[in-house]
Amino acid sequence: MSDNVDMTPRIPRRKFLKRAGLAAAGLTLGAAGLAACGDPTSTSATSATTAASGSNAGTTAAGVTAAGASTTKQFSGELRLLQWVSFVPAADEEFKRQADEWGKKNNVKVTIEAIPGNEVQPKTVAAIEAKAGPDIIQMDYNWPWLYETALVDMSKEYNDLKTKFGGFFPFLEGNSVVNGTPRAIPYCVVPGAWVYRKSWFKEVGADKFPETWDQFLDVGKKLKAANHPMLQTMGQTFGDSPGMWYSFLWEHGGKEVMEDGKTVAINSPETLAAVEKAVTIYNNVFTPDVLAWDDNSNNKAFLAEQISATLNGASIYLTSKKQNAPFANDLAHAIQPAGPQGRAATQLNKTHAVMGYSKNVDAARDFVNWIMQPDQYNKWLEAGGAYSIYSLKSYDSNPVYTKDPNLTVFKETIQYGRNVGWPGPPSQAASQAFSKYLIVNMFAAAAKGKAPKDAIADTEAELNKIYNPNKK
Amino acid sequence: MAQAQPTLHIVRGSRWGYRAQRIFFFWVPMLFFLVVLLFPFYWMLITSFKTDRELYYDRKANPFLVSSPTLEQYLYLFEKSSFTQWLLNTVIISVASTTLSLTCGVLAGYALARLRFKGASALAIGIFVTYLVPQTLLFLPLQDVVRGFQLYDTPFALIFTYPTFLIPFCTWLLMGYFKSIPQELEEAALMDGASRFIAMWRIALPLAVPGILSAGIFAFTLSWNEFLYALIFLSSSAQKTIPVGITSELFRADAPSYGQIMAAAILGSVPVAIAYAFLVEYYVAGLSAGSVKG
Amino acid sequence: MAVQPQRLEEAYRPSALTRLRSFLDREAVFAWIILTPALLILALFIAYPFVLGIWLSLTDKRASVPGNFIGIENFIKDVQDTIFQKTVVNTFVYTAVATVFKLILGLALALLMNQPFRGKNLVRAFVLLPWIVPTVLSTVAWQWMFDPSYSVLNWTLKNWLGWSGAFPSWLGDPFLALCCVIAVNIWRGVPFFAISLLAGLQTVSLELYEASAIDGANPAQRFWHITLPTIRPVLTIVTLFSVVWTFADFQLVYVLTRGGPLNSTQLFATYAYDTALRGGQIGLGASIALFMFPILAVVVFIIQRSLRREAH
C-alpha cells in the first residue's frame, strides 16, 4: 500500500544517493557517517522528508537535524534477534549495547539471543515452520537461498547501504541476493587463518608457516612426532570444517559442479588428488579426534596447549591475550597454504535476514540498517578486535585492522573468498549440499579408510540427487 | 513390596570361606556397580566447585579433588545467565502438565477400571499403545499442530503436548490401582443413592491416593526431563526449560564452560532427586506397577 | 442422610433436571463423560499428528515452501540413501547391544541387591539416580568426561594406568563413538532394569528355594529353574519397554555426538531431526521418523500379548 505510494519518489532519490555516495567516497568516514544518518531509511518516511533530507545529506547540518527526526519513527512492541554465540564475547556485548540503544530510542524492547552456531539452523527452520519466532535471524553463508520465501525483501536497505559504503564483497552479494532480490543484509565475514605456536615450529626447524600443502605435510609429520600436532576438524560443524575442506578441494582444482550450476563435476582427477592428499595429511599430521571436533574444539585444544596449529578465526589469539595465557606471545597467524591451483577460501559470513512472519517488520528493517551505520558498525568492529571483517568496503579504513600486526593476515584472506557451490552460481542446491556436509564428509570418509574413489562416487551420487532431482 | 526376602544361605563351609565368598561375589561387584553408576554425579559435583583456572590450566593436579573450592560457577548461573528463569519455567510447565495429565488420567483410569461400557477393553488397549508412541515419531507433524493452535514459543506448547505421553501412563498405572481397590464400598454408596461422581470422588479416590501420588511423581519427573519437544517448540531464551537452556545457552564459544554447565546440571537434577528421595517407596512401587504389572 | 428424601421426590415427579441427572449417571454415559478430557487431548495431539505425519511424509515439503503430494517417493529416497542405510544398522545395533547389556547387568545388580546387607535402602536410593536425573544433564556430564581436550578418562589412563601415546579418541573414532553412546545408554538404563527385576525377585517363593536347597540343587540350578521362571514375565515386559525407548532414542545422541562422526551414531530420530530441521526437508524427515513405526508396532504388539497372557 504505502509502498506503492513511496515508489515514485524513491527512484530519483536513489539516483541522487548514488551521486552523493560518489561524493562521499572522497570525504572522510566521518562525513559518510553524517550522510548515513541523514538518510531516512524507514519505509514510513514521507516523500517530503525524503526530499528534504536527501538534498541536505552529507553537506549541511540540516541533514543531522533530519536524522534526529527520522530516527524517532513510530515503532513499538518487541524485536527478537537470534544469532550465534560469537567467539569474541566483547563483540556480543557491544552488539547488545547497540540493540539497547536503538531500542530505547525507538521505544522497542529488543532481545538478542545467542545460541551455539550449530543450533541456529534447526532453530531457523523450526521458526519458519511455526511461522513465529525471532524477528531477525543472523544467518550463515547462503542460507537466504534456502529460506527465500520466508524472508522479507530488503532491496531498499541493501541498495542504500551498497551505494553509500562502497558496495559489498562479491561473494557476499551472491549469498544474500536471491534470484535478484536481496533477502538479507551482509553483516560481516569471519575469515580463517592458521594460528600457530612459533616456538614449536622452530623446534622442528620451521621458521614460518608452510606456504604449500606439500610443505604442510612435511612440517606436520615432524610436529606430530614431537607430540604437538597441527589439527583441523573434519567433523560436521558450521565454520571451521567447510572453511578448511571446500577451500582444500578448490585449491587442488576440484569442484562440485560446473559453471552451469547443474552438471555435477566432483568426479575428477583433481578431486581424487585432493582426497588422496587429505588422507595422507589425516594419517600423518592429524589424530582421529578431528572427526568429532566442532567449531569450539580447536579453540579448547589450542588453549590447553595440545596442538601447535589450527585453522581458525582470530578468537584463539584474542582469548589467549585476554586470559594472559603464558603462550600468548608465542602465537602467530598465517594464511592458508596454497594448492596446485593457488588459494581459495570458504568464508563464514553472517547476514541479517528479517523474517516474513515477524509482526514488527518495519522496526526490524530499521534496526538491521541502523547497525550498519558508521556510528554503530565501527564500534562493533573494534569490540571484535579484528575477528570480524566488514562486509561493506568503505569500512576498510577502520583502525582495528592495522592496530595489531598479528591480525592483518585475516583481511588478506578476503580476496580468496568464494561462494559455496563455486564455480556454479549461488543456488538452493549448493546450499543444500552444504547443509548436508557432503564435501566435508567425502574427505572424512576417505580419511576413515574408504577408498578415495568410492568416497567421491558416493558424494557424486548425493550431489546428483540435489542438483538434478528429477533425473533418475 | 517389603515382604520377607529369600535369604540365600550360600554354602556355609568355613567361616573364612564364607567371608571370602561374600567379598568376591557380593562386595566387589556391588562396589563396581556403585562406582560406575555414581561416578558421573561425583564428577559433576566436583567440577562445579572448581575455578576455571583449576579446570583448564592446572593440568598436573589430581582432577578428582578440589584444591580451591569456589562457588563462582553457581554465582555465574544466577547473575549472568537466565538460569532462574529456566528453573521457573520448568517448574511451571512440569506442575501444569502433571496436574492436567493426572486429572485426565484419574478420570480415564477410573472409567476403564470400574465402569462397564461397550469398547472399554479396546479403549484400554488403545491408550496403552499410545503410551508406547515415542516423542520422536511425531515431533514434525506435532510442530504443525502447535503452530495451528498458536502455541509456539509459549509454555502451553509443552503443557498440552507433554500429556500425550503422561496421560496414557497415568491412566494405565491408575487403572491397575483402581482394580486393586475393593468395589463393595462404592456399591454401597451407590445403593444409598449417591451419584456416580460422588462415589468416585468420595470413596474411590481417597483410597487411590498412593497410586495417584506415584503416578504424579512419575509424571513430574518425566516432564522435568523432557527434551525434544522443549527443544523444538520453544524458541526464546525467556521460555526455555532447564535441559534446553543448558544445552543451548551455557556452552560458550571462545572457551570451555563446563564449570557452569555442571553446576547447572546439578541444580537441575536436585528437584527431581528430592521429589524422589521423599517418595522413593511410591516411586519404586509405581515403577514396578507401571511397567510390570500393567 | 440428606440423600434419602431427594430420592423419594425423584420417584414421584421426575423433573427435566433429575431426568438429565439420571441420564448422566448411567454407567456408560458417565464413563464417556469422564473419559472425554483424556481422549480429547490424545486425539488432538497424538491421533491427528499421526495422520498429519503420514500426509507430510508423502509430500516434498521444505522449510518455507509448501509441499506437493509425491506418493511414496520419500520412502524410496530413504531406502536408497546410504546415510539412511547406515542409520538403520546403527539403530538396530544400538538397541540390541544396549538392551542385552542392560538386561544382564540389571539382572546381576538386582540379584546383588536382593541379598541382605547393611545400607540396603540407601544403596537402592542411590542406584536409581542415573535413571531419575534428566538424561540431557547426565549426558552433558559424560560429554565432559569424553572431552578430547580435558577427558578425565584420559587423565586416569595416563596417570594411573600408565597409558602412553595417543589417547583413544572417544567420540572421534566412528566405532568408539558408537560404543560410547551405547555405554551411556546402558549406564542410564541399568537401574531401571535392576529395580524392576528386584521387585520381581521379591516374589520368588522362599519355600521352593529351601526345598530345592535341601534336594541339593546348586545356586546356578536354582537360579535357572526357580528364579528365572518366576521373574520371566517381568523380565519380558521390562525388556520390551526398554527396546521401545532405546530404539526411539534422541537426546543422548543429540548431546554426545549429534549423529557423528561420519553418521556413525546416527539413529532414526537424530537423522529425522537433521534432515527436517537442519536440511529443511520436512517431508523427507517425516518419512524417516515414520520408518520407526512398523518396528515399534511389532514390539508393542508383543508387549500387549504378553501382558494379556499374564493377566489370564
- CA closest to C256 among chain A residues: A292
Confidence of residue B133 (pLDDT cuts 50, 70, 90): confident
**Nearest C-alpha neighbor of A460 from the set A445, A442, A434, A446:** A442
For position B289, what pLDDT does the model report? 54
Judge whether residue A131 has pLDDT over 80. Answer: yes
Question: Which residues of B are less than 8 Å from C114 in CB distance?
Answer: 5-6
pLDDT per residue as tens digits for the range C4-42: 555 555 555 668 888 888 888 888 899 999 999 999 999
Provide the b/e sequence for A143-178 (b: ≥16 CB within 10 Å): bbbbbbebbbebebbbebbbbbbbbbbebbbbbbbb
Question: Which residues of C are less than 8 Å from A234 in CB distance?
Answer: 261
Report the range of poorest mean pLDDT among A158-162, B169-173, C189-193.
B169-173
Which of A224-230's residues contact partners 24+ apart within 8 Å by CB, and which partners?
Answer: A224/A284, A224/A285, A224/A286, A224/A287, A226/A200, A228/A197, A228/A200, A228/A203, A228/A307, A228/A308, A229/A285, A229/A286, A229/A287, A229/A307, A229/A308, A230/A194, A230/A196, A230/A285, A230/A286, A230/A307, A230/A308, A230/A309, A230/A310
**Nearest C-alpha neighbor of B157 from the set B210, B106, B75, B96:** B96
**Rounded mean pLDDT of A135-157?**
94
Q: How many helices and strands (H and E) does chain B possess?
A: 17, 0
Residues B143, A129: C-beta atoms closer than 8 Å: yes
Judge whether residue B9 has pLDDT over 70. Answer: no
Beta bridge partners of A354: A136
Question: Which residues of B are less than 8 Å from C187 in CB distance?
Answer: 36-37, 40
Alpha helices in A40-142 (DSSP H): 47-56, 62-71, 89-106, 117-130
3-state secondary structure of A197: strand
Question: Which residues of A are less than 8 Å from C262 in CB distance?
Answer: 291, 441, 444-445, 448
Share of chain B above pLDDT 70, in %: 91
**Nearest C-alpha neighbor of B114 from the set B172, B175, B171, B169:** B175
- Is there a contact between C190 and C102 (Cβ–Cβ < 8 Å)? yes
Residue pointed to by grid coordinates 582444482: A253
pLDDT per residue as tens digits for the range C80-135: 888 899 999 999 999 999 999 999 999 999 999 998 888 888 888 889 899 989 99
Q: Which three cell numbers stand for residue B238?
A: 525467556
Residues 6 or more apart whose CB falls under 8 angstroms from that of B172 comprise B109, B127, B128, B131, B290, B294
For position A1, what pLDDT does the model report? 37
Confidence of residue C310 (pLDDT cuts 50, 70, 90): low
Residues C196, B288: C-beta atoms closer than 8 Å: yes
pLDDT per residue as tens digits for the range B49-83: 999 888 887 767 788 999 889 999 999 999 989 99
Residues 6 or more apart whose CB falls under 8 angstroms from that of A372 comprise A161, A165, A185, A187, A392
**Nearest C-alpha neighbor of B82 from the set B252, B246, B257:** B246
Provide the b/e sequence for B171-206 (b: ≥16 CB within 10 Å): bbbbbbbbeebeeeebeebbeeebbbebbbeebbbe
For position A239, what pLDDT does the model report? 87
Query: What span, in angstroms and rounded, lies between the C-alpha atoms of A284 and A218?
Result: 9
Question: Which residues of A are less than 8 Å from B252 in CB distance?
Answer: 85, 89, 296
Judge whether residue A134 has pLDDT over 60. Answer: yes
Chain A residues with at least one Cβ partner in C under 8 Å: 118, 121-122, 124-126, 128-129, 146-150, 234-236, 287-293, 297, 300-301, 304, 306, 432, 435-436, 441, 444-445, 448, 458, 461-462, 465
For position C13, what pLDDT does the model report? 63
Report the range of poorest mean pLDDT among A122-131, C84-93, C299-308.
C299-308
Higher pLDDT, C182 or A418: C182
3-state secondary structure of A139: strand
- Is there a contact between B216 and B98 (Cβ–Cβ < 8 Å)? yes
**Site from C56, C64, C65 to mutate, A interface, most A CB atoms within 10 angstroms:** C64
For position A223, what pLDDT does the model report? 95
pLDDT per residue as tens digits for the range C129-164: 999 899 999 999 999 999 988 889 999 998 888 888
Query: What span, in angstroms and rounded, lies between the C-alpha atoms of C114 and C219?
Result: 14
Share of chain A above pLDDT 70, in %: 84
Element (H, E) at A349: strand A348-354
State the pTM of this model: 0.86
pLDDT per residue as tens digits for the range C239-261: 988 999 999 999 999 999 998 78
Taking one residue from B and the other from C, the number of pairs with CB-CB distance under 8 angstroms is 301
For position B18, what pLDDT does the model report? 81
Judge whether residue C272 has pLDDT over 90. Answer: yes
CB proximity C282 to A under 8 Å: yes
For position A338, what pLDDT does the model report? 94
Q: Which three cell numbers stand for residue A76?
A: 513499538
Q: Which of B236, B253, B255 sits opposite A303 (nearest CB)?
A: B255
**Rounded mean pLDDT of A373-385?**
93
Judge whether residue B287 has pLDDT over 80. Answer: no
CA atoms within 13 A on the CB side of C158: 15
Cis geometry, peptide bond prior to residue C261 (ω within 30 degrees of 0): yes
pLDDT per residue as tens digits for the range A396-421: 889 888 888 888 889 888 889 888 88
Report the range of poorest mean pLDDT among A175-179, A250-254, A342-346, A466-470.
A466-470
Burial of A22 (0-12, 13-18, 19+ CB in 10 A): exposed
CB proximity B53 to A under 8 Å: no
pLDDT per residue as tens digits for the range A263-289: 999 999 999 999 999 999 999 999 888
Question: Which residues of C are less than 8 Å from B138 in CB distance?
Answer: 46, 49-50, 53, 289
Burial of B281 (0-12, 13-18, 19+ CB in 10 A): middle
**Rounded mean pLDDT of B92-113?**
95
Query: What span, in angstroms and rounded, lies between the C-alpha atoms of B162 and B101?
Result: 8
Residues A133, B254: C-beta atoms closer than 8 Å: no
For position A52, what pLDDT does the model report? 37
For position A4, what pLDDT does the model report? 38
Cis geometry, peptide bond prior to residue C5 (ω within 30 degrees of 0): no
DSSP structural state of residue C13: -
Q: Which of C38, C132, C205 sits opposite B273 (nearest CB)?
A: C132
pLDDT per residue as tens digits for the range A45-84: 333 333 333 333 333 333 333 343 444 568 999 999 999 9
C-alpha distances in angstroms, A143 versus A130, A359, A369, B35, C28? 18, 22, 19, 47, 57
For position C285, what pLDDT does the model report? 94
- Is there a contact between C143 and C181 (Cβ–Cβ < 8 Å)? no
Neighbours of chain C (3+ CB pairs under 8 A): A, B
**Rounded mean pLDDT of A342-369?**
94
Residues B284, C200: C-beta atoms closer than 8 Å: no
